[in-house]
């Protein structure tokens, strides 16, 4: 842990955490704003699942594309572009029209997709291998930090500025961050090859890399299910607390922020345990099982439960359902051929984002058919258990040659 404090490692970790936080905040602000925004746009709040699916459909395509652009432009430049696209998406969402909302989801997805390959590319080059599980776990705290920021900032901004003003205020943070990162580009993008062959926008190469190796393939496919659960939690938790439990928007936002904070703590704890107490892959499996059990407890909740208990369950769910990705990305980087961590991450994230596209619409469909949050969430929990068992079956997969 002390080594991560050094400038050579600490600055890249901090830069990637901040960038990942604000890109994520942009995407997860929309589910928090949804109960108010839906009134203006003229849609049901439950349709936030469809919005989230559009975001991550775009992310699914742009993640492997980013993997092919990193060598020419550098990880930091791609991260700056991701921040700008996510901010543009919030600006478009503030227009308050159904068509603008669809375009905003596409823009945010074009920011979310490149952010993880870009940051993985930076950390794989700047961080010594023994420190990578912790560094990647800390970097991935940017996702729940971004969600916590959305849960804490969006509700009071709505009260102060209305939901459209809140969206614009949150969008400005991403632009400021992109500009603030520019002085680091000469250092963190020192490996770029601007005079080399023009980068090709391609998806096939990163996917071929993932699917040609058993260990990477199994991880990527398991991540499809885990991410379906993760983004369903992020997309529906506020709506669940408001519509099913009866919390007001402010308390629902606090519970949501607590869940995201649980994800921050979980990622750091799992990162500290990885390769010191347990193998990284073993931890991914155990966290997957714990996610399913946490969700099974949450769906028993009703209006009679005290807020502190709901908040505690939300924290546990966050630590597990949101806390697994740093371990996953560290394992992908470990298994990737030398110098291809960013490309491997882009291919793996294609499957991860595919799960995100699948999860929220599945919840929406089950809600439409049954009107039951427990039915929807327990379906995801069962899939999580199956994915953890399948990943455990390949725990001895070897690193590609």
Question: For residue range 67-117, what is the model confidence (pLDDT) as tens digits?
Answer: 667 777 888 888 899 999 999 999 998 887 888 888 999 999 999 888 888
pLDDT greater than 90 at residue 382? yes
Rounded to an integer, what distance in angstroms lies between the CA atom of residue 16 and that of residue 194?
22
pLDDT band at 332 (very low <50, low <70, confident <90, very high): confident
Query: What beta strand segments (E) does 208-284 contain?
Result: none
Residues 6+ apart with CB under 8 A from 118: 19, 66, 70, 75, 76, 78, 79, 82, 342
Structure tokens at 324: 């697994």
Structure tokens at 246: 């009866």
Cα–Cα separations (whole angstroms), residue 37 to 34, 41, 213, 401: 5, 6, 45, 51
Q: What is the DSSP letter of 42?
A: T
pLDDT band at 8 (very low <50, low <70, confident <90, very high): low
Torsion, CA 163, CA 169, CA 173, CA 178, rounded to 10: 100
pLDDT greater than 90 at residue 284? no
pLDDT tens-digit profile of 117-141?
Answer: 888 788 877 777 777 777 777 877 7
Residues 6+ apart with CB under 8 A from 123: 12, 13, 16, 132, 135, 136, 139, 333
Q: What pLDDT score was predicted for residue 120?
A: 79
- Quickly count: other Cβ atoms within 10 Å of residue 221's Cβ: 20
pLDDT tens-digit profile of 25-39?
Answer: 888 888 788 777 777
Q: What pLDDT score was predicted for residue 290?
A: 92
pLDDT band at 205 (very low <50, low <70, confident <90, very high): low
Q: What pLDDT score was predicted for residue 107?
A: 93
pLDDT tens-digit profile of 163-177?
Answer: 889 899 999 999 999
Rounded to an integer, what distance in angstroms lies between the CA atom of residue 205 and that of residue 214?
16
pLDDT: is 400 or 278 the higher one? 278
Tell the residue number behind the tokens 């990942």, with chain if given. Answer: 20
Q: What pLDDT score was predicted for residue 192?
A: 78
Tell the residue number behind the tokens 């040659």, with chain if given. Answer: 401
């Amino acid at each position: 842990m002390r080594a991560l404090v050094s400038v050579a490692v600490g600055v890249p970790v901090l830069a990637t955490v901040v960038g990942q936080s604000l890109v994520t905040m942009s995407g997860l602000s929309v589910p928090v704003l949804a109960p108010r925004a839906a009134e203006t746009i003229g849609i049901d709040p439950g349709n936030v699942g469809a919005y989230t699916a559009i975001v991550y459909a775009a992310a699914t395509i742009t993640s492997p594309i980013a993997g092919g652009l990193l060598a020419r432009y550098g990880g930091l430049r791609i991260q700056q572009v991701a921040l700008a696209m996510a901010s543009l998406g919030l600006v478009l969402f503030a227009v308050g029209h159904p068509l603008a909302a669809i375009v905003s989801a596409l823009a945010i997805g074009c920011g979310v997709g490149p952010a993880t390959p870009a940051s993985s590319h930076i950390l794989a080059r700047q961080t010594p291998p023994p420190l990578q599980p912790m560094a990647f776990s800390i970097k991935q705290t940017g996702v729940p930090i971004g969600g916590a920021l959305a849960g804490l900032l969006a509700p009071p901004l709505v009260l102060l500025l209305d939901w459209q003003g809140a969206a614009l205020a949150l969008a400005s943070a991403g632009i400021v961050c992109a500009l603030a990162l520019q002085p680091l580009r000469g250092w963190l993008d020192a490996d770029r090859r601007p005079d080399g062959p023009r980068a090709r926008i391609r998806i096939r190469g990163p996917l071929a890399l993932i699917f040609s190796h058993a260990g990477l393939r199994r991880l990527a496919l398991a991540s499809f299910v885990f991410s379906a659960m993760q983004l369903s939690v992020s997309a529906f938790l506020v709506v669940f607390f408001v519509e099913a439990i009866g919390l007001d928007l402010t308390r629902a936002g606090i519970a949501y922020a607590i869940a995201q904070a649980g994800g921050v703590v979980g990622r750091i704890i799992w990162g500290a345990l990885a390769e010191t107490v347990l193998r990284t892959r073993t931890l991914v499996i155990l966290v997957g099982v714990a996610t399913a059990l946490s969700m099974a407890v949450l769906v028993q909740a009703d209006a009679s439960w005290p807020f502190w208990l709901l908040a505690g369950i939300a924290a546990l769910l966050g630590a597990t359902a949101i806390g697994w990705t740093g371990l996953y990305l560290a394992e992908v980087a470990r298994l990737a051929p030398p110098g291809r961590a960013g490309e491997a991450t882009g291919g793996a994230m294609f499957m991860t984002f595919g799960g995100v596209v699948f999860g929220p619409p599945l919840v929406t469909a089950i809600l439409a058919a049954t009107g039951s949050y427990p039915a929807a969430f327990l379906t995801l929990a069962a899939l999580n258990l199956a994915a953890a068992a399948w990943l455990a079956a390949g725990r001895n997969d070897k690193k590609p040659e």
